[in-house]
A and B are shown apart, each in its own frame.
Chain A
Amino acid sequence: MTLKVLIPSALRSYTESSQAEASGATLDELLMDLDRQYPGIRFRMIDEQQKVRRHIRVFVNGVSAEVLSQAMHADDDVVIVQALSGG
């Protein structure tokens, strides 16, 4: 199952594109696959305790994903966002 993943500008130095494709039965597997294609990208989003970093959000079908074990389904819409911050 291959899904389209929207990539924020802060991570496009890895993908060189605003959109990537990755596959996985869970969000964790999907991000692992992304990292296989673009080495290093996962650690910039997910820390060593397997937590999504403070200023990163991953939306699946418009809902913020809270756990990496979340199951993925065909046609899921995956968007990685650099959280709005600063002033």
Chain B
Amino acid sequence: MTTTVLQVATRKGAWIFRADANRREWTVDGPHFLGHIISHLVLDPRDKTTLLAAAKTGHLGPTIFRSVDEGCTWKEAAQPPAFTKAPEGETGRAVDHTFWLTPAHSNEPGVWYAGTSPQGLFRSDDGGVTWSGFSSVNDDPQFREWMGSEKDGTPDGPKLHSITVDPRNPDHLYFGMSGGGVHESIDRGKTWRVLINGMEVPEGFGFDVTQPGFHDPHCLRMCPSNPNRIYQQNHSGIYRIDRPSDTWVRIGKNMPPEVGDIGFTMTVHPCDDNTAWVFPMDGTQVWPRTSPDGKPAVYVTRNGGEAWQRQDAGMPTEQAWWTVKRQAMCCDTHDSVGLYFGTTSGELWMSRDEGKNWECMARHLPEIYAVEALNL
């Protein structure tokens, strides 16, 4: 019997939702770490028991909590992600929070990657107990220039995110920097190349489109059924790339103009590389970061972005001013794919039929930062 486990990270703690076989009944396990800011909660798909939680509080510094029994008990990382100590007289960086967690390749049990704010890339070889930084990113002068300052990112800090491992080759990695562009390595992070051709930058400011520092990818999603295809939700639109091409195509131009193609999150079908979902938000004027016109909806493409259809059955039809953050939408791997998203207003929504119909499965949670689904 296949069950689905949702890992929900919020501004005030973590929750785990476990489904019955039909995804009709859910048991709620939580809060874990009540009061902690949990940026990401990820159950390891390789052993299906190890959970990592990226945590901090309003007062305390960041850490990683680790469970090897699906969240029954937790132990703190012995050496959480931390930057190199700066030489005397120089100003060094300090990790404010770990934002993103990615289990590494299926042939590398216990290996994880982490992205932080300020932007840094880290790796653990022991299941999240100890972490070390990639000097090729964290200490590289060119990367540091692209990362910019604390002003060059989202309101709660620039983020390194969407660390993506090619399932065919553990040496092949991608990540996004918000801001700072998309980057690729084919030697497990020793060296990196920029992957921003075709990506646009905000108009009217004279930004140089060839400079990674002006690019703000919000979310990258590699298709499990075709790792050559990656979708991207960007500050400046929705894109798709088909490797080995190195040029992104702005497929968001096919979205309805009144909705636009701005948003944070995106998810892709587990078996069909032509199907992807986005959750548009209002990115006009002062960037309200709400659903456009207060009418939330998911948009799906079934043909790789040539056309998009609105999916809002069951959602509020007016006066719903929430949105979905970049880690807060995902899908399961049932035959009829289940979609899930968590809102900035603390609601958890699901669809059992690939977005045709939606229902709210939890209300009154804290602001939701991340939702991950894993079938067991």
A and B from one complex: yes
The CA-CA distance from A11 to B35 in the complex, in Å, is 13
Residues B63 and A47 in contact, CB atoms below 8 Å apart: no
Which residues does chain A contribute within 8 Å of B95, judged by CB atoms?
47-48
Residues B57 and A49 in contact, CB atoms below 8 Å apart: no
Residues B58 and A53 in contact, CB atoms below 8 Å apart: no
Given contacts A48-B85, A49-B85, A86-B58, are A43 and B94 in contact (CB under 8 A)?
no
- A35-77, CB < 8 A from B: 39-40, 43-51, 53, 55-56
The CA-CA distance from A49 to B84 in the complex, in Å, is 8
The CA-CA distance from A61 to B319 in the complex, in Å, is 54
Closest-by-CB residue of B relative to A44 is B60
The CA-CA distance from A58 to B78 in the complex, in Å, is 23
Residues B86 and A49 in contact, CB atoms below 8 Å apart: yes
Residues B60 and A53 in contact, CB atoms below 8 Å apart: yes
Which residues does chain B contribute within 8 Å of A50, judged by CB atoms?
85
**Chain B nearest CB: distance from A12 CB in Å?**
12
**Chain B nearest CB: distance from A80 CB in Å?**
10
**Chain A nearest CB: distance from B306 CB in Å?**
48
B314 an interface residue at 8 Å Cβ cutoff?
no
Interface residues on A, range: 20 to 34
Given contacts A10-B57, A40-B78, A86-B58, are A49 and B63 in contact (CB under 8 A)?
no
**Chain A nearest CB: distance from B374 CB in Å?**
27
**Chain A nearest CB: distance from B122 CB in Å?**
12
B residues near A (Cβ < 8 Å) are 57-61, 63, 76-78, 80, 82-86, 91-95
Residues B58 and A85 in contact, CB atoms below 8 Å apart: yes
Closest-by-CB residue of A relative to B86 is A49
Residues A53 and B92 in contact, CB atoms below 8 Å apart: no
Other A-B pairs, 15, CB within 8 Å; known A10-B57, A10-B60: A39-B76, A40-B76, A44-B61, A46-B61, A47-B61, A48-B82, A48-B84, A48-B85, A48-B95, A49-B93, A50-B85, A82-B59, A83-B59, A85-B58, A86-B58
**Chain A nearest CB: distance from B131 CB in Å?**
11
Closest-by-CB residue of B relative to A83 is B59
The CA-CA distance from A11 to B76 in the complex, in Å, is 13
Which residues does chain A contribute within 8 Å of B93, judged by CB atoms?
49
Which residues does chain B contribute within 8 Å of A48, judged by CB atoms?
82-85, 92, 94-95
**Chain A nearest CB: distance from B158 CB in Å?**
17
**Chain B nearest CB: distance from A54 CB in Å?**
9
Closest-by-CB residue of A relative to B91 is A49
Residues B85 and A43 in contact, CB atoms below 8 Å apart: no
The CA-CA distance from A50 to B83 in the complex, in Å, is 11
The CA-CA distance from A8 to B63 in the complex, in Å, is 18
Which residues does chain A contribute within 8 Å of B83, judged by CB atoms?
48-49
Which residues does chain B contribute within 8 Å of A11, judged by CB atoms?
60
Return the contact of B59 from the options A39, A43, A46, A55 (Cβ within 8 A): A55
Which residues does chain A contribute within 8 Å of B60, judged by CB atoms?
10-11, 44-45, 53, 55-56, 82
Residues A10 and B61 in contact, CB atoms below 8 Å apart: no
Residues B78 and A39 in contact, CB atoms below 8 Å apart: yes
Residues B82 and A43 in contact, CB atoms below 8 Å apart: yes
Which residues does chain B contribute within 8 Å of A83, judged by CB atoms?
59
The CA-CA distance from A55 to B61 in the complex, in Å, is 9
Residues A43 and B61 in contact, CB atoms below 8 Å apart: yes
Residues B78 and A45 in contact, CB atoms below 8 Å apart: no
**Chain B nearest CB: distance from A72 CB in Å?**
22
Which residues does chain B contribute within 8 Å of A39, judged by CB atoms?
76, 78
Residues B63 and A40 in contact, CB atoms below 8 Å apart: yes
Residues B58 and A55 in contact, CB atoms below 8 Å apart: yes
Which residues does chain A contribute within 8 Å of B80, judged by CB atoms?
43
Residues B92 and A10 in contact, CB atoms below 8 Å apart: no
